[in-house]
Amino acid sequence: MKHYTILLAVVVALSGCDVMQKEKVKSYKQWHQARARIICGVGEEHFKAGSLDKAQSCVVESLNLNSDFLPARILLAKILLGKGCHEEAAEQLEHAETLLTSSKTGEVVAAPMGAEVAYLHGEAMERAGRYDEALQHYQKARALDPFNDAYVMASAEVLVSMGKPKGALELLQVRLQRIGAGGEPSMIILAGEVAMLAGNYAEAADFFQRYLDMKQDPDLEKSNRSIRESLAKAQFFAGNYRLALESLKRITGNSDSRSCWVHIMTGDSYMALNRPRKAKAAYEAAVEIEPGDWPVWLSLAKAAVADGDGRRGIAAGLRALELADGYSAGDGSDKGRLEIAVVTAYAMLMKDRPADAMKVLAASAPKNPNDPMLWCMLGRCYSAQGRSDRASACYMAALRADPANRLAKNLLTGIAGRPEDR
């Protein structure tokens, strides 16, 4: 009996030691987990401050204490993304996804965290140029957290990178329709930019205007300038020239007007509305900003001719020719030079200088032997000199190059209908 009592006492003592050991292990584990959370929190602050190396040191220490601490694993992926280490970040996110799968975290909590992991994984794949995989991860993020606009925008952006702007636009349209009249401003701007890429200019203008209607504070006018510029471009390409002019006036009215394209687009809008004098003034402002750009001088020459200002048309045309001749072949200047020559020759004919016009055209003839417009202008030069036979030959050459050319037909008919030619 005595031995039994002693044995029982030993068993009880050993059991107590086992319980104490388990409690000790549990306490250490809780201690390490608590420290891991605290150190990871310090790492978060370093990350927010942009100190990536310090943040990474904290995260590594946190994971050494608790390798299954999911927030530390996610933060490490963010840090690696910030350093441009996309593949390494993807490895950490794969580990995080494994932890999520085996985690006992409640579904309500796990879904947003899983969505963030999927989104970051998509970002890593996108930066690595693996767009198909990126889109799959972004779609997963949207499925887990369907109310997060950032995941929709990420999907749209990667679709654009894949050369699918129409698909991106459809995605954004559906999202914005569900939201209603409001909507995330950055998503509205993105929708406008994607619509421009998709060639839906009128819709792009609607998106940019929608954004500006939301931001009517006068203090934001300077920051809204880029959006107004996008609005003007969308309106112009949509063919809404009057609206484009109104937007362009808002831009020039609130700046020093040193953006050459603003004046060029203003001039193009006025030309489209058959107001060449206004267009000429806009192009004059443009050439002051970019005096070495031959296309701007060509636009000025066209506007001057349309306005009946042959003198300014000649001067602008000759300057455009001089600049175009300085460009290397193959950059578009050859084709542009022919157009400049035709416009300049027309301006010279307006000032009764057919011989000079022929010299300008002759320089472009060898490289453009089959251009009907060149032949028509040469014919007009001969006609202005009273050489109807040579003019007729030029118009016939134009028709051989383009049998349906209406201008050549009309000019040829005009010569045949003259009393002296009957």
Summarised one tens digit per residue, pLDDT across range 41-52 is 998 999 999 999
> What local confidence, expressed as pLDDT, does residue 108 receive?
41
Which tokens go with 8? 């029982």
User: What mean pLDDT do residues 54-66 have?
Assistant: 90
* Share of residues in the chain with pLDDT > 90 (%): 64
pLDDT digits (tens, 9 = 90+) for 303-327: 999 999 999 999 999 999 999 887 6
DSSP state letter for 218? G
Taking the CA atoms of residue 60, residue 66, residue 69 and residue 74 in that order, the dihedral angle to the nearest 10 degrees is 10
> What local confidence, expressed as pLDDT, does residue 422 receive?
36
User: What mean pLDDT do residues 128-156 have?
Assistant: 94
Range in 10-14, 18-22, 30-34 with the lowest mean pLDDT: 10-14
Residue 2's pLDDT band (cuts 50, 70, 90): low
Which tokens go with 216? 């009517």
User: What mean pLDDT do residues 34-46 have?
Assistant: 89
Q: How are the residues of the chain apportioned to helix, strand and coil, as percentages rounded to the nearest 5?
A: 80, 0, 20
> What local confidence, expressed as pLDDT, does residue 129 receive?
93
Helical H runs in 49-148? 52-65, 70-82, 86-102, 107-127, 131-144
Whole-Å CA distances, 273 to 239, 277, 287, 303: 10, 11, 21, 12
8 A C-beta contact, residue 232 and residue 244: yes
User: What mean pLDDT do residues 166-192 have?
Assistant: 89
Which tokens go with 306? 């349309």
> What local confidence, expressed as pLDDT, does residue 19 receive?
52
Which domains, ranges and CATH numbers included, belong to the chain? Answer: 256-362 (1.25.40.10), 369-422 (1.25.40)
d(CA 61, CA 76): 11
Residue 277's pLDDT band (cuts 50, 70, 90): very high
Question: C-alpha angle with apex 252: 246 to 254, nearest 5 degrees?
Answer: 105
User: What mean pLDDT do residues 49-65 have?
Assistant: 91
Which tokens go with 337? 């030079």
> What local confidence, expressed as pLDDT, does residue 413 receive?
87
